[in-house]
Structure formats: structure tokens, C-alpha cells
Amino acid sequence: MSMDNPSKATQHTKTCRIILFPLPFQGHINPMIQLADILHSKGFKISIIHTQFNSPDPSKYPHFMFHLIPDGVPEDQASKHDILRVLHILNTDCVPLFSECLGKLLSAHDDIACIITDAMIYSSQAVAEDLGIPRIALRTSSVCSFLTFAALPVLREKGFYSDNLDSRWEEPVVELPPLKVKDVLGIHIRNLDDTLKIVNDMVEGTKKASGLIFNTFQDLEEPNIANLHEHFRLPTFLIGPFHKFFSAASSSLLTQDRSSIYWLDTQKTSSVLYVSFGSLAAMDEKDLIEVAWGLANSMQPFLWVVRPGLVQGSEWLESLPDEFLEVTGKRGYIVKWAPQQEVLSHPAVGGFWTHSGWNSILESICEGVPMICSSFFGDQTVNSRYINDVWRLGIKLECGFEREEIESAIRKIMLEGEGRQDIIERLVCLKEKIDGFSSTSVNSLSDFISTFKSSVV
Ligand code: UDP
């Protein structure tokens, strides 16, 4: 998408520098690097502070400056998936190192306008205040999930987490329509108290920021925008989907297996279900086997990303029954990691069974691909509910991983029929709105940043 027609203020501040600090997980690195590219294309100079853990590859971005801080996160398999632990280290042990690095940059450059840090690195707010530099928070997920996170302390006060709610699992949460009790209770990762504290600190840190950026777009989130402005009275910019400007392929931490594209080339138009649960989700062997039999029984061709680490305690495919591989034969293709954006734009792909990660949802919407939604934790439970009940762009699996429900959802999404057709029509409508997206909101962000450094020309 072209980024022409820059406003006067944007031209005026061509030499400003912005410092960005991404959260070192795939679904957070991708949008931060894309945002860096968007801002660079508007004339800003970019410096990226990054951790050793899941480090981006600086050689891919000669137009940015990179500054490594030692983070103390062990580069082992456990850390790769232990989000709470990494978040804790980044917001505690890492803070002095981030502060030192930022302090040095501020001394070395007099053109720094602001820092943009992931909303989940909430401790960067206090560092920014100490050093007297404005901080803009980047929230890499949906507005609807952000507002749900913001409401969790109130739900907790109402006894939401202490009462035995198992019997009310399917009931609506009256405070947060259209969510069900199970959607809210499914948000936490392992430890409830730790999750709620981190989420709350993230929300409070965001309130103190000088600005807030979302990787989302107005037409999709309309029902929640007024609510957002009412509760978060800070300048807010909805400038997504970022990947429409710059692809996420360059920031992939794992090697994308291009054989998946060659396999798709051999398949019929809209015939293949693409299945991927993102970079962090983990499941047990029992669930993997339900997924496998759901795919096999649906009789539809599929491209399945089984990331090493997807199944706890297993290397890769050893938990899959031989019979599954025999039955599906050439109808299925399994890879460890795929070039997802390219896969979704391939004519052979007719549906996407996703874990409801926000980048995956945006990528699917932009390619007009109907979704089947699972969810594992965090924003995924909220995103999948919105896909099913509000935006009606796909089907949420309500029973977790259960082969009959999976088979039925795959048939509904993949086979021609009213359900699929209605979803495709809604996707076409949304896609038109995204394609018509002007660079107005990016220009407003650009102008906003320029006000921090109006003396720099
Ligand atoms: N992705 C990819 N190859 C894959 C699966 C995912 O390149 O095989 C990319 C995908 O395009 C997206 C990101 O990884 O940009 C995953 O982000 P998301 O928010 O969907 O989920 P997360 O990994 O954070 O749970």
C-alpha cells in the first residue's frame, strides 16, 4: 500500500528518531517490526532495543539501528513457551538494563522524539518517566480483548474467580457481552494470580502512557471504540493491519518451510484447510489425536503446521498414530513452520483453523479466508468469541478439541453452502474497507510523534 500524501508536520520532522522495544515473542515482534517499517517509510529514524532471547536478525534491517540488552532469560525450550516467566524477567530484572541502554541513547542522540514499547513491557513506562522521554504503548492485539483485560479486576471483585463457576461455564457474562463465563476463565496462563497481576499492570501502565497504538482497524472494532475512549483518555491510533504495509516474513524466528507452497500449487482452488496454532500454544497428546482424527474424518485436504513443542513432551510427530498418516496419505501435508501470509493468500486455501492469535486473524481477514477458531489462553478466548458471535467470520469450537465437533466445523467452513457463503460475503465487505484504508491514521500518528520534538527539523 502506498504511503503517499504525507502531511506537512510529517515532512517537518524527517530527522526525528524513535526507539522501539518489542516483547520478544513472535506475535509481538512481527507487528513491532512492521510498525518500525511504517514509521521509517514516513521519514523517522529507527532504533530498536532488543533482548538476546528471541533476538531479531539485525542483518535483515540495515535501515534500522539495533541495541542489544542482556536479559537473563535462558535460551532453553522451557523459556520459549513460558510467557509469564519471560514477562516477569522483562518487567523486573531487565528494567535497569533497559534504563541504562535508553539513557546512553538519549545522551548520544539529541533527536529522539519518543519510545514505543510493547504494552506488556509495562515497566518501561516508569523508565520513560524517569528519563523524561514520552512513551507510546503498542498493544498488538484487539481492542475487544484489551477492554476485557481492563475489566478483569472488577470481575474478580465480584467473586468471578473465587466462586465455583463450573456449572455456569456456558452462561453469558452480563458485564461483557457477548463473552461467556468460559471465555473469561480461559484467559489465564497456568497461574491465575500471576496472570491477573501482569494483565492489570499492563492496563495501568498503558493508562499512564502518552499515546496508544493498536494493530487493528476502526471498521472491525466499531462496537468497542466508544468504550475504549471512555476508559482510556489518551491519544489512540488504530493503524492496522500493519502487515498490509509490510509482510511479517522477515521477522520469522523459525525457518518457514516453502515446500508448503509447492504442495499447495498441486491442490484445487479453495480446497485446502490451513491449520496452525501459532508460535506459543501447547496441547497434550490426547488433544493432538482428536485434531488428527477430526482432520482425517472431514475428508478435506489440509496443510497442518505442527510446530516442534506444540505437543508437550514430544519432539514432533511421534504422537500421531500410523493409521492417521495412512488414511490421510497425500490429502494432508505437515510442516514445522509455514510462510503463513503467503499460504493464506494462496488460491488453494479455502479455510484457516487458527488458535485465534491476533496476527493470524488479521492475516486471514485480509486474505478473505473463513476461520475455524480454537483458543488456548489470553486474548485468544475473546478474539474467537468475537469471530463467532460478533463479526461472524468463522466458527468457534465450543468443546475444545473433540473430533466430531472438529469434523462438522471443517465441513461447514470448507464445503459450499450458505454458512460459508455468508462468511465470505462479510469478509469481502471488510476487505474492501481495509483496501480503501488511506494513510490518514498513520499520518495522525506521525504528526502526533512530531509534536514531541517540534524543534527538530
Ligand atoms: N506464523 C508463521 N508461520 C507459521 C505460523 C505462524 O509465519 O507456521 C506467523 C503468523 O503469520 C503470525 C505469527 O506467526 O504473524 C503468529 O502470531 P499470532 O498473533 O497469530 O499468534 P502467536 O504466535 O502470538 O500466538
Per-residue pLDDT at 315 exceeds 60: yes
Is 372 in contact with 395 (CB distance < 8 Å)?
yes
Q: Would you place residue 165 in the very low, low, confident or very high pLDDT band (cuts 50, 70, 90)?
A: confident
Which residues are 372's β-sheet partners?
A: 353, 395
Half-sphere exposure of 295 (CA within 13 A, CB side): 32
Separation of CA 355 and ligand 1 centre (Å):
10
Separation of CA 341 and ligand 1 centre (Å):
9
* First CA to last CA distance, the chain: 27
Pocket probe for ligand 1: among 253, 306, 340, 365, the residue whose CB has the most ligand atoms within 8 Å is 340
Pocket probe for ligand 1: among 279, 280, 373, 379, the residue whose CB has the most ligand atoms within 8 Å is 279
CA atoms of 325 and 7, how far apart (whole Å)? 57
Per-residue pLDDT at 220 exceeds 50: yes
**CA nearest ligand 1 atom 6, residue:** 278
pLDDT digits (tens, 9 = 90+) for 347-402: 999 999 999 999 999 999 999 999 999 999 999 999 999 999 999 999 999 999 99
CA atoms of 217 and 87, how far apart (whole Å)? 27
CA atoms of 312 and 271, how far apart (whole Å)? 31
Q: Measured from the CA of 141, which atom of ligand 1 is nearest?
A: 19
Per-residue pLDDT, 74? 76
Q: Measured from the CA of 27, which atom of ligand 1 is nearest?
A: 24
Q: Where are the beta strands (DSSP E) in 23-171?
A: 45-51, 65-69, 112-118, 135-139
Per-residue pLDDT, 15? 80
**CA nearest ligand 1 atom 11, residue:** 340
**CA nearest ligand 1 atom 16, residue:** 27
Separation of CA 302 and ligand 1 centre (Å):
18
Per-residue pLDDT, 457? 40
Which residues are 333's β-sheet partners?
A: 303
Residue 348 has what DSSP assignment? Answer: T
Pocket probe for ligand 1: among 215, 305, 360, 379, the residue whose CB has the most ligand atoms within 8 Å is 360
371: enclosing H helix or E strand: strand 371-373
C-alpha cell at 140: 498488538
Separation of CA 344 and ligand 1 centre (Å):
12
Is 102 in contact with 19 (CB distance < 8 Å)?
yes
CA atoms of 433 and 428, how far apart (whole Å)? 9
Q: Measured from the CA of 249, which atom of ligand 1 is nearest?
A: 7
Per-residue pLDDT, 454? 62
Is residue 222 classed exposed, middle or buried when 0-12, 13-18 and 19+ CB atoms within 10 A define those classes?
exposed
Is residue 164 classed exposed, middle or buried when 0-12, 13-18 and 19+ CB atoms within 10 A define those classes?
exposed
> Does domain 10-250+438-451 match CATH 1.10.10.10?
no
Separation of CA 13 and ligand 1 centre (Å):
34
Separation of CA 278 and ligand 1 centre (Å):
5
**CA nearest ligand 1 atom 5, residue:** 278
Pocket probe for ligand 1: among 82, 214, 359, the residue whose CB has the most ligand atoms within 8 Å is 359
For residue 401, CA distances in Å to 239, 291, 397 come to: 34, 6, 8
Separation of CA 30 and ligand 1 centre (Å):
8
Per-residue pLDDT, 79? 66
Is 31 in contact with 138 (CB distance < 8 Å)?
yes
Separation of CA 252 and ligand 1 centre (Å):
8
CA atoms of 457 and 447, how far apart (whole Å)? 13
Q: Measured from the CA of 354, which atom of ligand 1 is nearest?
A: 20
* Correct CATH for 257-414 of 1.10.10.10, 3.40.50.2000, 3.40.50.970, 3.40.50.720: 3.40.50.2000
> Residues of the chain with pLDDT > 70: what percent?
94
Per-residue pLDDT at 427 exceeds 50: yes
Ranges of CATH 3.40.50.2000 domains, the chain: 10-250+438-451, 257-414
pTM here is: 0.95
Q: Which residue has the cell 498441486?
A: 266
Separation of CA 279 and ligand 1 centre (Å):
6
Is 83 in contact with 189 (CB distance < 8 Å)?
yes
pLDDT digits (tens, 9 = 90+) for 172-217: 999 999 999 999 988 888 788 899 999 999 999 999 999 999 999 9
Is 216 in contact with 136 (CB distance < 8 Å)?
no
Cα 55 to chain centroid, rounded? 18
Q: Measured from the CA of 380, which atom of ligand 1 is nearest?
A: 25
- How many CB atoms sit inside 10 A of residue 154's CB? 11
| CB-defined site of ligand 1, < 6 Å | 25-27, 30, 248, 252, 256, 276, 278-280, 305, 337-338, 340-341, 357-360, 363
pLDDT digits (tens, 9 = 90+) for 75-126: 776 666 789 999 999 999 999 999 999 999 999 999 999 999 999 999 999 9
pLDDT digits (tens, 9 = 90+) for 49-64: 999 999 999 999 999 9
Rg of the Cα atoms in the chain? 22
Q: Measured from the CA of 243, which atom of ligand 1 is nearest?
A: 15
Is 195 in contact with 185 (CB distance < 8 Å)?
no
Helix axes 192-208, 83-91, angle to 10 degrees: 40
DSSP letters of 215-270? SS-HHHHHHHHHHHHHH--S-EEE---GGGTS-SGGG-SS---THHHHHHHTSPTT
Separation of CA 250 and ligand 1 centre (Å):
12
- How many CB atoms sit inside 10 A of residue 129's CB? 12
Is 125 in contact with 132 (CB distance < 8 Å)?
no
